[in-house]
Structure 1
Amino acid sequence: MSRIISNMLITMFFSLLVSSVVATEKDSALPRLSDTKAVEAFIDSAEVVVIGFLEGEESHGYQELVAAAKRVESVPVAICTEKEMWADHSVSSDTIALFRKADNHQENLNIADAKKLETDGLVNFITINELRYITEYNQVSAVGLFNSEVKTHLLLFANRGSKEYTELKERLGALAPEFTGKFLFVMINGAVKSNFRSLGYFGLKSTDLPRVGIYDGNSDMKWLLPEGEISTERVQEFCHSFLRGELKEVKQAGAEAKTEL
């Protein structure tokens, strides 16, 4: 009798062990996009997404992508193994592609071109290119911002922790889609010492904030929205004034400042 009970316990143990392994494997799997509608819906589901255009789960780069997805939880990740859909996104071989709405851009990492593909490298690829409708400026995001084809930045200077910070970030983030492909909206935290040079470039100090400015990378010119309420309407008109070319004759922000960005 004791032997029967023992065998039953052993059987139950292995059954639980197997089910646990299956569950773990299932949890680690990335969502699979099987048709064009699924791919388009996934791309449209968030401001930034990543799709692994890979032949299958055995492909080089898949396990690294799974591991990277767990570390960058803010970015949804999926795979597409149906090659007939790859061409729709200019993909011809195994590629990890990042799609972002802020500038309607697709950033490709071709697996064959990567000398050494590691999880850390994929995490860096995602975080550097993770530009959103309003992106917080730091040393990592700066790379993606200045590599974007959109060279004009609408800058919100505000001190994190201030009562205006979150409210203004949400307000301008909601306005940003209107200017997709024309401006990148960037949040610069004036309470961080490493951002003091950026403030100085506009002739600002942290005590002057919040303020809004425009930086045009094509002409290396910069302007500040005149002091006053930072309303959606004022910022919207500020952006349109730039697009109409009306700011070219306006005195540049920080014109007398000696600091550099």
Structure 2
Amino acid sequence: MEAAPSRFLFLLCLFMYELSPDGAAEIQESSEDPGSSQEPIWLTDVPAAMEFIAAAEVAVIGFFQDLETPAVSVFHSLVQKFQDVSFGISTDSKVLAHYNVTGNTISLFRLVDNEQLDLDSEDIESIDATKLSRFIEINSLYLVTEYNPVTAIGLFNSMIQIHLLLMMNKASPEYEESMHRYKKAAKLFQGKILFILVDSGVKQNGKVISFFKLKKSQLPALAIYRTVDEEWDTLPMAEVSVEHVQSFCDGFLKGKWLGENHESEEKTPKVEL
């Protein structure tokens, strides 16, 4: 099966449900933090831009030939909203050429898969805060990305075809330490596997848990999924450790199943989800 149809199938099965007003508000609030003010960093040469991008999990850069374009003010207006994203701006012709930018554009850079995503020129002409926010929200992937209906779109647009999901309740006492270890393991597979957190305390995420035939009594658990052929494996665990995560991922990459391997039983969307 080709990668695109299976990727679409999994997205359809798990993530395409109506987002409730409360859920939408939660995502909106999580992006807004009235913390210390920040401004975009001016990137005056190529080395400065390269260093800026390398230091951030997610970086958004406004490449502008014309600072009078309306997109510039829209860009500045969103810097405060996304506190976990690094914002930069450049008008230097050598910087624009280095990143293959030929006009005004805004680009998002992801450390997790070394992707550069550019807004189309026609989008720049009609850009507003809502459109730019959506572009950033959908495409912001981190070493560990928490699943929600918005980030799901970006996850399945990534060229990385293997996704690892940690299903765990964020309210549990072990959560902080477990996430520290999970993120440490994610660095070992950067560019090979996308690491995802699924909060089992969120009611809608029960669809993800049931898809992998897991029960809440088995959590925390890992589930690994390959979009190209829809094979997957699960591993319930008493404790999340770097060693457990690494062994599970290595086994899947080598075709050695540590849990119980599966293939999607149906090649059509699962209506019950």
Aligned to 1:172: 182
Partner Cα distance (1:79, 1:205) in 2: 47
Tell me if structure 1 keeps the 8 A contact 2:40–2:87: yes
Aligned to 1:133: 143
Residue 226 (structure 1) shift: 5.0
Partner Cα distance (1:114, 1:35) in 2: 23
Tell me if structure 1 keeps the 8 A contact 2:39–2:87: no
Unaligned runs of 5+ residues in structure 2 are 1-36
Residue 119 (structure 1) shift: 0.8
| Aligned CA distance change for structure 1 residues 31 and 102 (closer, same or farther; 3 Å) | same
Aligned to 2:170: 160
Q: Mean Cα displacement is larger for which, 169-178 or 138-147? A: 169-178
| Aligned CA distance change for structure 1 residues 37 and 64 (closer, same or farther; 3 Å) | same
Partner Cα distance (2:171, 2:260) in 1: 32
Tell me if structure 2 keeps the 8 A contact 1:97–1:108: yes
Residue 100 (structure 1) shift: 0.9
Aligned to 1:88: 98
Residue 30 (structure 1) shift: 3.1
- What is the aligned counterpart of 1:112 among 117, 122, 127? 122
3-state secondary structure, aligned to 2:42: coil
Aligned to 1:188: 198
Tell me if structure 2 keeps the 8 A contact 1:203–1:253: no
Asked if residue 239 in structure 1 is aligned to residue 249 in structure 2, the reply is yes
Residue 248 (structure 1) shift: 10
Aligned to 1:65: 75
3-state secondary structure, aligned to 1:163: coil
Partner Cα distance (2:260, 2:169) in 1: 27
Aligned to 1:14: none
Partner Cα distance (1:249, 1:237) in 2: 11
Residue 205 (structure 1) shift: 2.5
Tell me if structure 1 keeps the 8 A contact 2:164–2:196: yes
Tell me if structure 2 keeps the 8 A contact 1:203–1:254: no
Asked if residue 38 in structure 1 is aligned to residue 44 in structure 2, the reply is no
Aligned to 1:213: 223
Deviations 1:144-173 (A, max 9, x none): 001111121111000111012221111111
Deviations 1:193-222 (A, max 9, x none): 110010001112323211111011111121
Partner Cα distance (2:239, 2:146) in 1: 21
TM-score (norm 2): 0.78
Residue 69 (structure 1) shift: 1.4
In structure 2, what residue type is equivalent to 1:235? V
Partner Cα distance (2:214, 2:187) in 1: 27
3-state secondary structure, aligned to 1:198: helix
Asked if residue 51 in structure 1 is aligned to residue 61 in structure 2, the reply is yes
Higher relative CO (Cα under 8 Å, sequence separation at least 6) belongs to: 2
Q: Which has the larger Rg?
A: 1
| Aligned CA distance change for structure 1 residues 100 and 225 (closer, same or farther; 3 Å) | same
3-state secondary structure, aligned to 1:203: coil
Partner Cα distance (1:213, 1:134) in 2: 14
Residue 224 (structure 1) shift: 0.8
Residue 249 (structure 1) shift: 10
- What is the aligned counterpart of 2:213 among 185, 198, 203? 203
In structure 2, what residue type is equivalent to 1:44? A
Aligned length: 234
Deviations 1:28-66 (A, max 9, x none): 863211011110111122210101011243133100000
Tell me if structure 2 keeps the 8 A contact 1:191–1:206: no
Identical columns (%): 37
In structure 2, what residue type is equivalent to 1:45? A
In structure 2, what residue type is equivalent to 1:164? E
Partner Cα distance (1:51, 1:197) in 2: 36
Partner Cα distance (1:49, 1:28) in 2: 14
C-alpha RMSD of the superposition: 2.5
Tell me if structure 2 keeps the 8 A contact 1:211–1:227: yes
| Aligned CA distance change for structure 1 residues 136 and 29 (closer, same or farther; 3 Å) | closer
Partner Cα distance (1:57, 1:29) in 2: 16
Partner Cα distance (2:50, 2:59) in 1: 11
